[in-house]
C-alpha cells in the first residue's frame, strides 16, 4: 500500500493555489481517461478555499465534474449554512 502524502502550507492562500493546480490537473486526467471527474467536498471553509483560484481557471471543464458532499448539514439548499450552496455559489456558478 502506498503511503499517504502530507502537505503543509504556511497560509490559506498557498493552500488555495495548490488546490487549484492539483484539482485542475487531476480533473483533466480523470476526464481524459474516464470522461468525467468525481469529487466530494466537506464543509466549513473548504469550498471557499478551493474556489479562490479554481473558479477562474479556464482549463477546468466543470461540465464534466460530478460533485458529492461528504458532510452536508441538515438545512435547506438555499440556507447560508448549506455546503451545497457554498460550492454552488463559490465554485460552480461563475
pLDDT of residue 72: 77
Q: How many domains, in total, are found in the chain? A: 1
Range of the domain at 38: 12-92
**5 found inside a domain:** no
Whether residue 31 is predicted with pLDDT greater than 90 in this model: the reply is yes
CA 25 centroid distance within chain: 12
**23 found inside a domain:** yes
**1 found inside a domain:** no
**6 found inside a domain:** no
User: Going by C-beta distance under 8 Å and a sequence separation of 6 or more, which residues neighbour residue 66?
Assistant: 36, 37, 38, 39
**7 found inside a domain:** no
> CA angle at residue 63 from 58 to 69, to 5 degrees?
105
**85 found inside a domain:** yes
Q: In the chain, pLDDT over 90 holds for what percent of residues?
A: 60
Structure-block grid coordinates of residue 73: 448539514
**2 found inside a domain:** no
Whole-prediction pTM:
0.84
**CATH number of residue 28's parent domain:** 3.40.50.1360
The 10s digit of each residue's pLDDT in 60-71 is 999 999 999 887
pLDDT of residue 73: 80
**80 found inside a domain:** yes
Amino acid at each position: 500500500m502506498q503511503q499517504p502524502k502530507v502537505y503543509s502550507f504556511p497560509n490559506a492562500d498557498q493552500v488555495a493555489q495548490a488546490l487549484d493546480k492539483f484539482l485542475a490537473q487531476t480533473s483533466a486526467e480523470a476526464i481524459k481517461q474516464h470522461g468525467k471527474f468525481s469529487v466530494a467536498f466537506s464543509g466549513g471553509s473548504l469550498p471557499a478555499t478551493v474556489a479562490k483560484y479554481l473558479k477562474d481557471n479556464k482549463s477546468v471543464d466543470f461540465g464534466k465534474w460530478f460533485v458529492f458532499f461528504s458532510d452536508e448539514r441538515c438545512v435547506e439548499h438555499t440556507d447560508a449554512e448549506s455546503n451545497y450552496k457554498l460550492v454552488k455559489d463559490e465554485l460552480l456558478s461563475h
